[in-house]
Structure 1
Amino acid sequence: MNLNNIHNVYFLGIGGIGMSALARYFHANKKQVAGYDKTQTDITDGLGVLGIDIHFEDAIENINTTFLSKENTLIVYTPAIPNGHKEYQYFIDNSFQVLKRSQVLGLITENTFCLAVAGTHGKTTTTSILGHLMYECNVPLTAFLGGVSENYNSNFIENGTKVSVVEADEFDRSFLTLSPDIACITSMDADHLDIYGDASEVTRSFEDFSKKVKSTGKLFVRNGLPIKGITYGIDDESDYSVKNIKIENGSYVFDVKTPETIIENIQFNLPGRHNLSNALIALAMAVEYGCPHWQLAKALASYKGVKRRFTYHIKTEDFVFIDDYAHHPEEINAVHQAVREMYPDKKVLAVFQPHLFSRTRDFVDDFAKSLSQFDEVILLDIYPARELPIEGVTSLWLLNKIDNKNKKVVSKKDLLAEIHDSRSQIVLTIGAGDIGEEVKKIKKEFTVES
């Protein structure tokens, strides 16, 4: 397909974080854009401000007639759209050009110099850092992010079209549509077992992705992963390594050893060793692209983060409220490490909303272990997303496996009262579901008091 011949793009699930970035891309490239989503959110409101027509009821009569003509029209859908969806079925039955989001991203990037970030954890933050670094170095890029960058208040960064910076998503093997010039793999932990079946298939998919890197390209891998490439790590003998780490005024200051030189006294403001690793690989990819060291160091110091990735909502001496998207045991471990490093002497309450019945079932013991590290734990009910309930898989089942006396399952309506009763000075909300809606309520409630 030649996207230059497409004039109208209609999105099924336009409010998704990846879908909305594509919608912004096509709108910026003067295409007619519209779409459906089941829920109105800040993301859909932001698209509406651009003049993109969005409706929230699955009904063919709600679709603008412009998009009911097959001529020069592309339909983009997210895998979360069920087969019984009326609008989806209409487009299929009438032989429209219908593509998954990942296929469209592959088409967009195939004629660019593509930098792709893969890994079960760290993709969004790393891609956001990389996009920011290259934008600040005036690279003519388009960056598609899986989260909202604090620097740009968007999941889309545009400064030209010669270079693309993308998340290479392993969910349903989407990243195999890409052919990157420079790529990295941050992690390969078991996840999405509802798709893959077992951990060996996850590993195999990353091996397949590594082979998608162009023969003239470069692949980076975090030191210790079972795939060959340029290595990176913290305080080790990797090709790219962080050295001489200090914490000054709540920020990291460190040196980076490259294969050619040492870049000294770099400042990075996000907490947590996982974020330090993300910053390192983003910097390494930008170095290999050809960005000047001094510009990269300056840009890294100005990076603000991604919304819902260790996002501070309240930060006083007496009370701190942080929100994070973590929804896998390893991600929760990373959040725990970060909060303990920043606040070693304070008690921490973790409010966790499990995401997906299948993920909770597959990693229940690992979730229990990671959550047991906090001083207090509150669980919300499991967020189902695209799944139906699985018998016996509940938040109470997970709670009973957590080794912590200060633990309970709480309904959303009782959450504020439970936080008031807590003895912790640090409150974390964690999860990938609709827990973000509770964040607004917590912030409003405790900003008044603090």
Structure 2
Amino acid sequence: MTLDQFKYIYFLGIGGIGMSALARWFQVNGYPVAGYDKTSTNLTDTLQAEGMTIHFAEDVDQIPVSFRENPAATLVIYTPAVPKTHPEYIYFTEHGFTLQKRSQVLGLLAGQMTTIAVAGTHGKTTTSSMVAHILRNSGVNCAAFLGGITNNYGTNFLLNEPADDLRSVICVVEADEFDRSFLTLFPKYAIVTSTDADHLDIYGAHEAVLESFGLFVSQIEQGGVLFMKKDLTLADQTAATVKQYSLKAGDYYSQNLRIEQAAFVFDLVHPQGIISDIQLVVPGFHNVENAVAAGAVALEIGVSPEAIRAALTSYRGVRRRFEYILKTDRAVLIDDYAHHPAEVEAFLSSVKALYPDRELTAVFQPHLFSRTRDFAAGFAKSLSIADNVVLLDIYPARELPMEGVTSELIFRDIKSKSKQQCTKAELASVVQKMRPDLLVTIGAGDIDQLLPTLKNTMMYQ
């Protein structure tokens, strides 16, 4: 399959963060783009404002006529989250349209360029956006398909400059392990941040997750480089040169790490020297480690140490990743997308380090029934870092309820000084009564929709 055989591009699930990045690529490159999604969001509003035709009802008649009348010229890109029983999916399969998963098309696009793929069960969105920012800020011709909206650019997609040879363009891709999507990628450079058990509704067991990551790193191009978090067990599964990194040890690591004015400052040690006094506006021990990985791959492709320091210092993060919603002398509100126990632990530990004299209140919305079932004990342990915990109901995402699986599985084992459960509708009232001076919201569901109300609630006089 080649893209030049298609005139129209249709997205089933266009509002997803990965799908929308692809949609923007096709739109920028002159293709008429249309799509369906279940609900209207700020992101779909933006896509419509950019000229895409989007509808929100499962209705074949709302697919543009020009698309329906030209099945041979229309490429349908779908996300695995769309069920095979969806009326539009059935229509497309029965009427001779070409259907491809998002990951397949992303692999096709990235394969034309020199790819840096960033994989990991957590950390990949921030790390890939850091890599993309370093390259763009340093004048490297690059494209990027990211899993979050960058605050530096206000988008999850960066378009490269025209090039006679596309292999001269660096393509930064967030390599998603969900549904084994990253196995469509054959990068020259890869970063693997973590291989924890996750998506067990797809994989079944941690061993299958590790097997999938092993296959991913085996696909690195000959002569390529794998930047692997130290102590992961992937090195013997790739022919690539393997270089290790971590917060404190490896071929690349941080030293002189300190907190200055609520920011993390560190030196990046690499095989050829030290990049000193990098100041991260986006704080967190985990983000320092992500910055080490991003700096390592940038050094490998020839970006200067000075340019790396400047880029990391000007990096503004990704929406919903350690994002300050309110920051005054009286009150601080931070939002984070963490949805795995390791992510929650890293986030809360960093907040505690930044604000050691404040009592930390955490609001957590579990994501997926299966993830809650599989990691309830881990969530309870990581949430117990907070002084006070408010636990919401499970956000179901793509799943139906599971008998006996509720937030109570987490709640009963939380050891914080105080804990309570409430609904989303009750949260603002709960926060108003608590009057916290340091509040964090955590989760990958729709908890972010409550942020404007919580911000207003915390505007204390």
Q: Identify the TM-score tier after normalising by the shorter chain.
A: over 0.9
**8 A contact 1:6–1:74 mirrored in 2:** yes
Give 1:66's aligned residue. 66
Give 2:214's aligned residue. 207
Deviations 1:177-223 (A, max 9, x none): 00000001000110000000111111111111110101111001011
**8 A contact 1:353–1:380 mirrored in 2:** yes
Deviations 1:330-362 (A, max 9, x none): 010011111011101111111111000000000
1 CA distance for matches of 2:377 and 2:405? Answer: 12
Taking every aligned residue pair, what percent have the same amino acid on both sides? 49
Deviation at 1:423, TM superposition (A): 5.3
Q: Does 1:417 align with 2:429?
A: yes
Give 1:343's aligned residue. 355
How does 1:28-427 map onto structure 2 within 5 Å? 28-68=28-68, 69-160=70-161, 162-228=169-235, 229-236=242-249, 238-422=250-434, 424-427=436-439
2 CA distance for matches of 1:434 and 1:49? Answer: 23
| Secondary structure, counterpart of 2:393 in structure 1 | coil
Give 2:239's aligned residue. none
- Give the TM-score of the pair, scaled to structure 1: 0.97
Letter in 1 for 2:94: D
2 CA distance for matches of 1:354 and 1:263? Answer: 39
Deviation at 1:417, TM superposition (A): 1.1
* Long gaps (5+) in structure 1: none
Query: C-alpha root-mean-square deviation of aligned residues, in Å?
Result: 1.2
Give 1:25's aligned residue. 25
2 CA distance for matches of 1:159 and 1:227? Answer: 31
Letter in 2 for 1:66: S
Deviations 1:286-343 (A, max 9, x none): 1111112211111111100000001111111111111110011001001111101110
Letter in 2 for 1:86: P
Deviation at 1:438, TM superposition (A): 1.0
The runs of at least 4 consecutive aligned structure 1 residues that moved more than 3 Å come to: none
Letter in 1 for 2:226: L
Letter in 2 for 1:130: V
Give 2:238's aligned residue. none
Letter in 1 for 2:382: S
Letter in 2 for 1:272: G
2 CA distance for matches of 1:106 and 1:216? Answer: 19
| Secondary structure, counterpart of 1:377 in structure 2 | strand
1 CA distance for matches of 2:247 and 2:98? Answer: 46
How does 1:7-26 map onto structure 2 within 5 Å? 7-26=7-26
* Long gaps (5+) in structure 2: 236-241
**8 A contact 1:139–1:159 mirrored in 2:** no
Moved more, 50-59 or 260-269: 260-269
**8 A contact 2:435–2:458 mirrored in 1:** no
Deviations 1:21-55 (A, max 9, x none): 00001111111111001111010011011111111
Deviation at 1:141, TM superposition (A): 1.1
**8 A contact 1:144–1:155 mirrored in 2:** yes
**8 A contact 1:33–1:52 mirrored in 2:** yes
Work out the number of aligned pairs and report it: 448
- Give the TM-score of the pair, scaled to structure 2: 0.95
Deviation at 1:56, TM superposition (A): 0.6
**8 A contact 1:346–1:424 mirrored in 2:** no
2 CA distance for matches of 1:435 and 1:256? Answer: 35
2 CA distance for matches of 1:154 and 1:369? Answer: 34
1 CA distance for matches of 2:116 and 2:203? Answer: 25
Letter in 2 for 1:227: L
